[in-house]
Homo-oligomer: A and B are copies of this chain.
């Protein structure tokens, strides 16, 4: 099912941009896990718009109501469902887009797939707003992983071609604009402002690292860590590429350059380099798991674009109205962290059943 992810836990995302509510159900979390709601809210807040120059003016309270799965803030073993009401929904902004698909959006493909019955308002189920429940699900997994000593941190690796500098460390979690180099971050913000002023948008790359993973998570072939992570990360709107470790750069290296030599460090098996991103044969090797996801620029731009009227088949000049992020990359950082938290926790639980006791 397309709105469901996971093998040992299962996340289901429901709702449309302008339906009464959106939400998620998370099955398979063992009973007895305490939810820290303050921390969950702080995590979700990193995704929420409001105030920042690069984010939509649409205000979302994004306050989830937990309607099942807990007793006194502790998981009770049954499906956890949380919903978020859609309050600030101005459907009239979208009405004219029903027959004129926006370039770069799912308007056209959804109209074909759903035979015209799609919920076109605000992107419906394809809206970036649906990442809010993913952040709730991922935020829960992230808390549990942290208690196991596993920490997830992501940064903006580039925006509009401007790259961050330095190696990614957990320090980035303290930043309001998650880059290692604040100077580069400043340039990125300028690049976004420039695009906004221009009625345009920019894309970027998010880099994410999972620290503290034991060796042995993940599986060969179709359930390797790469497969699992790619499957969920491509579920974030606008992601068009995913690479692990050095990724595409490996294609230009020789084996002797790319192979990560094994060594002992503090009585622990490690590798000299980490070109493989902590994954060999789909399975974690105990080094930090690293990957990068490419985000295309926000397709909603103020500039006039060429489209067609699906009913009359005539060419149309389209100007997308409404409020949109000139760059979604900053707000997508916690979404990437949430997505990988779900994937990693799923693999982590799987490890238990695969081991002979």
**Is B296 in contact with A253, judged by CB distance below 8 angstroms?**
yes
**Is A259 in contact with B299, judged by CB distance below 8 angstroms?**
yes
Residue A271 CB within 8 A of the other chain: yes
Asked, given contacts A1-B10, A227-B235, A240-B250, whether A315 binds B263 with beta carbons under 8 Å apart, the answer is yes
Chain A interface size, as a band, is 35 or more
**A313: nearest chain-B partner, CB-CB:** B264
Residue A43 CB within 8 A of the other chain: no
**Residues from chain B with Cβ under 8 Å of A115 in the complex:** 31-32, 355-356
> Please, how many angstroms separate the alpha-carbon atoms of A314 and B129 in the complex?
52
Residue A149 CB within 8 A of the other chain: no
Residue A56 CB within 8 A of the other chain: no
Binary flags per residue of A55-95, CB closer than 8 Å to B gives 1, else 0: 00000000001111111001111111101000000000000
**Residues from chain B with Cβ under 8 Å of A202 in the complex:** 253-255
Binary flags per residue of A1-36, CB closer than 8 Å to B gives 1, else 0: 111110010101111100111110101101111000
**Is B110 in contact with A250, judged by CB distance below 8 angstroms?**
no
**A270: nearest chain-B partner, CB-CB:** B308
**Residues from chain B with Cβ under 8 Å of A226 in the complex:** 234, 239-240
**Residues from chain B with Cβ under 8 Å of A158 in the complex:** 251-252
Interface residues of A in 299-357 (CB under 8 A from B): 299-301, 303, 305-308, 310, 313-315, 349-350, 352-357
With A76-B124, A130-B221, A255-B297 known, 13 other A-B pairs at CB within 8 A are A2-B223, A15-B79, A23-B81, A31-B113, A67-B83, A71-B118, A77-B114, A78-B220, A201-B254, A227-B232, A230-B230, A248-B248, A256-B303
Nearest first, the 6 closest Cβ-Cβ pairs linking A and B are: A106-B281, A2-B219, A241-B243, A2-B223, A201-B255, A109-B283
